[in-house]
């Protein structure tokens, strides 16, 4: 883990390339394309989760979400006084009734103890130093402030990863990384604790989308600005014979009875509070009883104890 503002010791993602691809995708986006379907789903879930929190927030920040969806939802919540969108690119900054800046979620511009609520939707899976990013978020929260995040994790795009790896290994006797690694749910929970969040809760929302063929999956990823930006990626274009063989493997392994192909997107939700003396203390490891709904209610609102 690197200290905030310091160079990243080990880069997994080419962040400049990822931002350039996101900019290009946002410029080409149309509502008819439906390429923001994951953002739409996650934003609806965000609103549902915030509805469980029976309190007001003076200052709320949307940190790094690719589109303006989350900021618009926050701006429409009457319990929130001021909303700031810290967008990853100028193209995606949006035009809602909220303040806006362009910022790097890996190098947070937020002052310590300046926010009551920070949300981040489908962004933090692409940072090189996730522990450091979470620590910056926790420091930016006022005592008893809430962080709600959603990242791609778990088995996301496992079908595409398996198919490309198998095809390239078969044809070229070796495979280049084509799909980004995603963190396990348990690992993400441990990172919340390590970052100093109180009452951390992690849970998974699995979306299984169906496509006509593997190329349609890849088109959607490009339309999201989510194509391969790994530093260790091959710079050579994917060979046509490898691509076609991968499509065959995908269809053979992951087709439903009607011939359509599954693509898994595991959206992992993270919730944690900045520590405050009024909060209940966690129980001993292994004695957890807290539900997500209780954790989001916060201290003093009938919540249970322990970690979810």
Of 250, 288, 46, 65, the C-alpha closest to 158 is: 250
Average pLDDT over residues 108-119: 96
Sorting pLDDT into bands at 50, 70 and 90, what band is 283? low
The DSSP element (H or E) to which 270 belongs, if any, is strand 261-273
**Look-up: residue for tokens 């930006």?**
229
- Which of 48-52, 113-117, 234-238 has the lowest average pLDDT? 234-238
**pLDDT per residue as tens digits for the range 188-241:** 999 999 999 999 999 999 999 999 999 999 999 999 999 888 888 887 888 999
Average pLDDT estimate for 10-25 = 90
DSSP 65-129: -SSSHHHHHHHT-TTEEEEEEEESSSTT---SSSEEEE-BTTB--PPTT-EEEEEEES-GGG-S-
- Indicate left, alpha or beta for 279 from its phi (over 0: left) and psi (-120 to 50: alpha): beta
**Cβ within 8 Å of residue 239, ≥6 positions away:** 171, 172
**pTM, two decimal places:** 0.85
Residue 98 has pLDDT above 80, yes or no: yes
Query: Hey, how many other C-beta atoms are within 10 angstroms of the C-beta on 256?
Result: 10
Residue 201 φ/ψ, nearest 5 degrees: -135, 135
CA-CA distance, 267 to 270, in Å (whole number)? 10
Q: Is pLDDT at 305 greater than 90 in this prediction?
A: no
pLDDT in tens, 157-199: 999 999 999 999 999 877 778 888 899 999 999 999 999 999 9
Does residue 25 surpass a pLDDT of 80?
yes
pLDDT of 289: 47
* Domains delineated in the chain: 15-157+180-210+225-237+267-277 (3.40.50.150)
Query: Which of 69-73, 123-127, 168-172, 231-235 shows the lowest per-residue confidence on average (mean pLDDT)?
Result: 231-235
Q: Is the pLDDT of residue 56 over 60?
A: yes
User: Could you tell me if residue 110 is left (phi over 0), alpha (psi between -120 and 50 degrees) or otherwise beta?
Assistant: beta
What tokens were used for 1?
């883990």
pLDDT(147) > 90: yes
Of the candidates 131, 149, 180, 117, the residue with the CA atom closest to the CA atom of residue 268 = 149
- At residue 290 the predicted structure's pLDDT band, cuts being 50, 70 and 90, is low
Q: How far apart are CA 108 and CA 61, in angstroms?
A: 11
pLDDT-based confidence at residue 29 (cuts at 50, 70, 90): confident
Strand ordering across the sheet containing 57-63? 99-102, 80-87, 57-63, 115-121, 141-153, 261-273, 198-211
Q: Where are the alpha helices (DSSP H) in 173-286?
A: 185-194, 214-223, 240-254
Q: Predicted confidence band at 274 (pLDDT cuts at 50, 70, 90)? A: very high
DSSP state of 64: S
- Can you tell me the distance from the alpha carbon of 304 to that of 289, in angstroms, rounded to the nearest whole number? 7
Min mean pLDDT across 13-17, 36-40, 164-168, 282-286 is at 282-286
**47 — pLDDT class (breaks 50, 70, 90):** very high
Considering the chain, what is the average pLDDT of its residues? 88
Would you tell me how many other CB atoms lie within 10 Å of the CB of residue 79? 15
Query: Coil, helix or strand for 170?
Result: helix
Q: What pLDDT score was predicted for residue 282? A: 58
Distance in angstroms (rounded) separating the CA atoms of residues 287 and 115: 32
Task: Map tokens 């362009």 to a residue.
Answer: 102
Token reading at 236:
């050579």
C-beta separation of 206 from 157 below 8 A: no
């Amino acid at each position: 883990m690197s200290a905030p503002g310091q160079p990243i010791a080990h880069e997994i993602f080419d962040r400049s390339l990822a931002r350039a691809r996101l900019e290009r995708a946002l410029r080409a986006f149309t509502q008819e394309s439906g390429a923001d379907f994951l953002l739409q789903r996650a934003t609806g879930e965000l609103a549902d989760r915030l509805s469980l929190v029976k309190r007001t927030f003076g200052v709320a920040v949307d940190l790094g979400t690719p589109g303006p969806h989350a900021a618009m939802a926050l701006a429409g919540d009457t319990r929130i006084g001021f909303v700031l969108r810290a967008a990853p690119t100028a193209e995606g900054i949006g035009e809602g009734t909220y303040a806006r800046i362009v910022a790097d979620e890996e190098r947070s511009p937020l002052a310590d103890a300046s926010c009551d609520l920070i949300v981040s939707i489908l962004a933090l899976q692409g940072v090189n130093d996730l522990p450091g990013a979470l620590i910056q978020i926790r420091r930016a929260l006022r005592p008893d402030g809430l962080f709600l995040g959603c990242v791609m994790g778990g088995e996301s795009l496992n079908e595409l990863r398996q198919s490309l790896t198998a095809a390239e290994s078969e044809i070229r006797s070796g495979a280049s990384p084509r799909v980004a690694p995603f963190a396990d749910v348990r690992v993400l929970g441990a990172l919340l604790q390590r970052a100093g969040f109180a009452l951390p809760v992690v849970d998974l929302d699995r979306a299984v989308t169906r496509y006509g063929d593997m190329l349609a999956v890849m088109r959607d990823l490009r339309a999201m600005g989510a194509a391969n930006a790994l530093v260790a990626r091959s710079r050579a274009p994917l060979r046509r014979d490898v691509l076609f063989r991968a499509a065959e493997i995908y269809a053979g392994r992951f087709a439903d009875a009607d011939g359509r192909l599954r693509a898994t997107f595991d959206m992992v939700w993270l919730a944690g509070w900045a520590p405050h003396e009024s909060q209940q203390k966690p129980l001993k490891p292994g004695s957890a009883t807290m539900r997500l709904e209780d954790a989001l209610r916060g201290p003093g609102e009938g919540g249970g104890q322990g970690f979810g």
